Amino acid sequence: SSFAGVRRFLARHCVGRDGQADEFTDEDCAVMWGSQQASSAEQARRVSRALDAMEALFLGLVDGHAEAGAEDILGGGFRADFVLARKSALRENISSSCSKLRGMVTVQSLAAGDVDSGVEMMKLLLKGGDGGLKSLGALINAGFSGQTER
């Protein structure tokens, strides 16, 4: 399934960044994709750790860090032809996407009355920087933007 593919990707490319890739479940992936709501504060933490690990990996790829496997995954030609000219925009897109996902999980948890998960995500969101979310209004919009596009 797609969820299993995400778990394999995390285990292969992100393990060691936080040591938690093996704990990521299909339900966690469903939360991250917005098809399910976080059921506990621990699940919110796992989703947040997975987002942190993926964000670090993709930013490392854009920046060309060897530990991210930039040359192996992107290849020198592709990186030179596509990535370098768009580096700033790619970094912003990656960070913004991860922030929107964090915001979505936060708002859904709080709206569903799951204060523990919502508060946990809010703490993790604020602790890690806001990645472009400058106000409560932006946080709320991040949580509901995908729902208005459907």
Digit-by-digit pLDDT tens for the chain (150 residues) are 688 888 888 888 776 544 555 688 889 888 888 888 878 778 877 887 888 888 888 898 888 876 666 566 777 788 888 888 899 999 999 988 888 888 887 777 777 777 776 776 777 667 655 444 545 555 556 555 444 443
- Coil, helix or strand at residue 1: coil
* End-to-end Cα separation, the chain, in angstroms: 22
Q: Whole-angstrom Cα distance, residue 123 to residue 100?
A: 15
Q: Is 0.75 topped by the overall pTM? A: no
Nearby residues of 103 by Cβ (< 8 Å), 6 or more positions away: 125, 133, 138, 139, 140, 141, 142, 143
Q: Look at residue 149 in the predicted model and tell me its pLDDT.
A: 43
